[in-house]
A and B are shown apart, each in its own frame.
Chain A
Amino acid sequence: NAGVMQNPRHLVRRRGQEARLRCSPMKGHSHVYWYRQLPEEGLKFMVYLQKENIIDESGMPKERFSAEFPKEGPSILRIQQVVRGDSAAYFCASSPTGYFAEAFFGQGTRLTVV
């Protein structure tokens, strides 16, 4: 079992571009969670998805951010028109059952906006 895989590990985008972050959950896990870590701060929850459904997006910024977890393929966190303040590490976790139980974390994607 390869664990939670996130790619890319590092992503550099210019202001105004789009960033797409991918998360492949562990085998058998159908629940995915995205977190953001701003520099020198702790993780903050963004969104919880189950296959094809958004369960809880209470931590998602209202604009420019979206997430999906299609029936096939990885979960995608999409940030449109990136700004410098989006520079952060984005972590994905997955779990076999719902509501964060037994969640395993990926290594994260470090987004740098220049």
Chain B
Amino acid sequence: SQQGEEDPQALSIQEGENATMNCSYKTSINNLQWYRQNSGRGLVHLILIRSNEREKHSGRLRVTLDTSKKSSSLLITASRAADTASYFCATDPDSGGGADGLTFGKGTHLIIQP
């Protein structure tokens, strides 16, 4: 099942602006991951944030996690045309030692206008 729900489904901004995407989920998690998928390519792992972390940075990416609200956001600063892609969040559930695997949202399609 696709537990994560990305919001918005599509986002179009001008190059240089910041892009923010949100993800909500339903169950307790060990970690939450963000992925990018360029057209015609496979998923690329961007960043992983653990349930005991609140914020994480990687280059122009900033991810926040609010476990009380069961939500996460991905911020891409100073966007570039090459950032045009679909972005997915995936949750690694806290299943008490079980193995439920990652569940993915449907993605946010980001378009950067030159």
Give residues in A with beta carbon < 8 Å to B: 9-10, 33, 35, 37, 40-45, 48, 59, 89, 91, 99-101, 105, 107-108, 110
Q: Is the CB of A43 within 8 A of B37?
A: no
Q: Report B-chain residues with C-beta under 8 Å of the C-beta of A91.
A: 101-102
By size class, the interface of chain B is 10 to 19
Instruction: Pick from B42, B99, B104: contact of A110, CB below 8 A.
Output: B99
Query: A10-B99, A91-B101 in contact; A42/B42 too (CB < 8 A)?
Result: no
Q: Is the CB of B42 within 8 A of A37?
A: no
A-B contact pairs, 21 of them (CB 8 A): A35-B42, A35-B43, A37-B101, A40-B31, A41-B45, A42-B35, A42-B48, A43-B33, A43-B90, A44-B45, A48-B42, A59-B42, A89-B99, A99-B40, A99-B41, A100-B37, A105-B102, A105-B103, A105-B104, A107-B100, A108-B99
Q: Is the CB of A100 within 8 A of B40?
A: yes
Give residues in B with beta carbon < 8 Å to A: 31, 33, 35, 37, 39-43, 45-46, 48, 90, 99-104
Q: Is the CB of A33 within 8 A of B42?
A: yes
Chain A min CB distance to B107 (Å): 10
Top 9 A-B pairs, shortest CB-CB distance: A42-B45, A108-B101, A110-B99, A99-B40, A45-B42, A107-B101, A42-B33, A100-B42, A105-B104
Q: Report A-chain residues with C-beta under 8 Å of the C-beta of B104.
A: 105
Report how far A107 CA is from B100 CA in the complex, Å.
7
Of listed B31, B35, B43, B104, residue having the most chain A CB within 10 A: B43
Report how far A99 CA is from B37 CA in the complex, Å.
11
Q: Is the CB of A43 within 8 A of B40?
A: no
Q: Is the CB of A43 within 8 A of B41?
A: no
